Chain A
């Protein structure tokens, strides 16, 4: 059974960089696409970016200037960095696996981690 676990600071100061890692267990990160998705408290879902196991990435244009996604196949992990954060970036951040390519659905999700942007 594939499991995903997000990790990283739960509190980030405004203007700083949010950094999260997703660790994949129970399966290989290779040959799949992996996404970061976020959900502000009480609101809907927003796709941030995805990456293929080879490192090829695609970003949401609304966040592209501030986002970097990377993958470390040796550790079975992929990561997110979001720079210059503001209160609007406060959200539960999920990592998820695509099934059927980068356009495909998400079959496995992490439990999510709440990141609050506040001084």
Chain B
């Protein structure tokens, strides 16, 4: 199975400041189709995950532009340009390139 390793596991951030979460995969996530199926989700307490970014850097409909994704191969990053109170929650990366689909262990974003 592809292991997805997120760092940090916890990220205290000041409101209005940037935040960054790293996700590293144990193998390249480039699919035979040429796509890289790396996804980012946000999960607020008591809620299902919410799609933020798909295929590394594509923001899903309705996601604020302060969220951005980047990376290639095995190293990926989710950035929040200016953290707002509503961004508190746990962030997961997920890979769909290789079966079985696997998730990172999650990064808890909290406000200082």
Contact = CB atoms under 8 A, between A and B. Distances in A.
B89 interface: no
A44 B48 contact: no
A62 B94 contact: no
B100 A106 contact: no
B48 A58 contact: no
Given A44-B105, A47-B103, A110 B96 contact: no
Contacts of B60: 105, 107
Nearest to A33: B96
Interface in A64-119: 94, 96, 98-100, 102-107, 109-112
A105 B51 contact: yes
A46 interface: yes
A57 to B, nearest CB: 11
Interface residues of A, number: 26
Contacts of B51: 99, 105-107
Nearest to B103: A45
Contacts of A100: 54-55
25 contacts: A35-B101, A44-B104, A45-B49, A45-B92, A45-B103, A45-B106, A46-B103, A47-B100, A47-B101, A47-B103, A58-B99, A60-B100, A96-B48, A103-B96, A103-B101, A104-B37, A104-B96, A105-B39, A105-B51, A105-B54, A105-B60, A109-B49, A110-B48, A111-B48, A112-B48
Interface of B: 31, 35, 37, 39, 41, 47-51, 54-55, 60, 92, 94, 96-97, 99-106
